Structure 1
């Protein structure tokens, strides 16, 4: 995707690369097309091999060893287009395991699986669209890493960012090359991005689609299911509303599989506590697209339409308006980036029947967690924290901290110790 030329904005993942690249021999940056992997890798590479260029691919297939020659670090960009490059790097690392040798970037899972996983040789790092803190809308004052310490840090800070600005950020996109594009140009770029998925990427993944119209409708239905745990049958039915003959599961299941391989959809998995089992937990994932702007564009929603709160898209059961779901998706981007930097995982919790739900559960390696609720509101009432209080009663000291992320103006701790944080004040 082409956009206005701009100065490189340091990414959260750069801190990981600062630590890992000097001591590990090979790192692979993976994520959806357009999230900035190549720009980030180019700042560190001394030799560049671009596998998305036919001439470079031809040379690589003629002599794979050429891929791993040259001043280090060597960047192999879009490595999945020459799947053999993975094993070539692995063998080079077997011969010399010193740090800072190779960077790989990939925008999809390869068609041909490498003969070796690369475990112990190539470390994979996930990269996503720009989180709110990376967009530099305001200066974060509350750190996800500090919340994960369990020391209940001081929560403070103020912002002037309001609901209107959050709606604008939802549709503005976190793809770096699209930042700053005016409305029509931005919409055209997002349309082009989505068209490439349906018209080219499935074919490149060797999964041609019989009906691009049905695939598009399925993606629209998935966008409408953002931040819900709707079943895939519900999404399929929403995509084919009014049709007597529903497509078989074998028709729509490949849509999900390929879109996950392309990192276009990234569901939040369910959390299953191991130290303090909770009865009757539901297992379905929570649905999210890589960038909430893609969901908004699929549903034909601009900032004004989101603020209008009228129903948009296929009828998917959810609590609250679409803007609430997409705001949660925007917050999820931030939390995932911060959690990854802190070596934690992001999941969600929902009991069967939906009696209790926690939007985001950030889990440390020792299985202790920070629980986060996302509220499309400026003020937080006792009713808004009842699920967090319930979880505290269920898992005790394993709950490191509890947070409500809002569209409000001030960050603070309530008298019950629960942190209230405006979204733009939350950072890594």
Structure 2
């Protein structure tokens, strides 16, 4: 028996099942949705089961309510294979007026035209990401991100990480795919991300809607996109890069592929934080390129941990993606949203983490310590700008709860300017 590793989503799911009729868990394939859902379900129906799949799909078409019979909560795995089940679940929740009835999982966004009701108030949506370093037992979790919101003066000085830079680079290459942790060798662990990428390009981008797409062109797009991860590179420039290195691709094809990759929870761009700190003409509203897991970029670029160790510029961009994945996981239960700030004066902050209650933190990501001063300077400039605009009455938002630099170092400490320096290997 493989040991189940607890996920942050476990607590969210338990809480939601106490007051929601149904919960939908979405996210990329292989991130652990089904395994986690099974820990909370009392009966299961897997629509992808090759033995019963045809019968299930026929029943879903003629008598969908029959598939909902069973002990509750009942797990309906990959429900999007039979979209009729959505309205059946909604109807069942309405009729029973009870909570904790169904858990649905899905690896693709379903076309809204295939369902009659949004499910609002009855079916709650949870996004599951690949595993964070704390969930995979690599971060020691000695510093809680949420504790810093509750106590910004928390003493972190001297807390140490167990992870080295080579450890982090391997984790970036392997990714947060649970199955990789069950493999015996490092080579086998690294193959999971590459297999995921191949299946994504060869199968998933076609089966999502039945439209045949060119796997080679999708791989070309992913490779060019990966070269620009953690950047504000315009889509027109990525299209030009594809055309230069991999052959022709029209804008229509490019945007179709991008849309499909978003529907498959592969592309996870970082949107701009827009509290109108500067005038509208001075703000940049473009999103930053990002994947839901850093290993996708590594696999698309066909890089190895050894190559990344000698290319720390690329490694730094992929490290940022790793940090964003983890911070998204650690803040999800409190409604955390990872955004970024970038204005036309080129003041840029990697992460503005905003909680559902309006509290927020300013965070920079630096793999090494050489860029620490640059990161600290950006944080202080943005905080000073916020204070100045508050005093002039131009904005009405609180000051950041705290500022931090998350890095690949060994020791946590608080700088004289109040900025927390936190190794990602200490964070939870």
The verdict on a shared fold, with TM-score over 0.5 as the criterion, is yes
> Whose helix fraction is larger, Structure 1's or Structure 2's?
2
- Within a 5 Å distance, the mapping from 1:228-307 to structure 2 comes to 228-241=231-244, 246-273=248-275, 276-277=277-278, 280-307=282-309
Distance in 1 between residues matched to 2:152 and 2:145, nearest whole Å? 12
Query: Following superposition, which runs of at least 4 residues in structure 1 exceed 4 angstroms of deviation?
Result: 276-279
Moved more, 340-349 or 364-373: 364-373
Structure 1 residue aligned with 2:393: none
**Alignment gaps of 5+ in structure 2:** 388-397
Secondary structure at 2:198 match in 1: helix
8 Å CA contact 1:172, 1:179 repeated in 2: no
8 Å CA contact 1:268, 1:346 repeated in 2: yes
Structure 2 residue aligned with 1:329: 321
Distance in 1 between residues matched to 2:214 and 2:65, nearest whole Å? 41
- Within a 5 Å distance, the mapping from 1:343-354 to structure 2 comes to 343-352=335-344
Q: Under a length normalisation based on structure 1, what TM-score does the superposition of the two structures give?
A: 0.91
Structure 2 residue aligned with 1:339: 331
Distance in 2 between residues matched to 1:277 and 1:57, nearest whole Å? 54
Matched, 1:394 2:385: yes
Distance in 2 between residues matched to 1:184 and 1:406, nearest whole Å? 26
Matched, 1:219 2:210: no
Aligned pair in 2 of structure 1 residues 382, 242: CA closer, same or farther (>3 Å)? closer
Aligned pair in 2 of structure 1 residues 188, 160: CA closer, same or farther (>3 Å)? closer
Distance in 1 between residues matched to 2:386 and 2:41, nearest whole Å? 46
8 Å CA contact 2:205, 2:213 repeated in 1: no
RMSD over equivalenced CA pairs, Å: 2.0
Aligned pair in 2 of structure 1 residues 59, 421: CA closer, same or farther (>3 Å)? same
Secondary structure at 1:241 match in 2: helix
Equivalenced residue count is 410
Matched, 1:21 2:13: no
Structure 1 residue aligned with 2:160: 158
Aligned pair in 2 of structure 1 residues 14, 304: CA closer, same or farther (>3 Å)? same
Moved more, 51-60 or 81-90: 51-60
Structure 2 residue aligned with 1:108: 108
Matched, 1:373 2:374: no
Matched, 1:195 2:208: no
What whole-Å deviation, never above 9, does each CA across 1:86-138 have from its counterpart, x for those lacking one? Answer: 11111111112322111000000124532111111100011000011111113
1:254 Cα deviation after fit: 0.5
What whole-Å deviation, never above 9, does each CA across 1:302-360 have from its counterpart, x for those lacking one? Answer: 11000111xxxxxxxxxx7110011111111111011212222111111125x211111
Aligned pair in 2 of structure 1 residues 138, 151: CA closer, same or farther (>3 Å)? closer
1:379 Cα deviation after fit: 6.1
What whole-Å deviation, never above 9, does each CA across 1:23-70 have from its counterpart, x for those lacking one? Answer: 211111000000000000001111111122323323333420012221
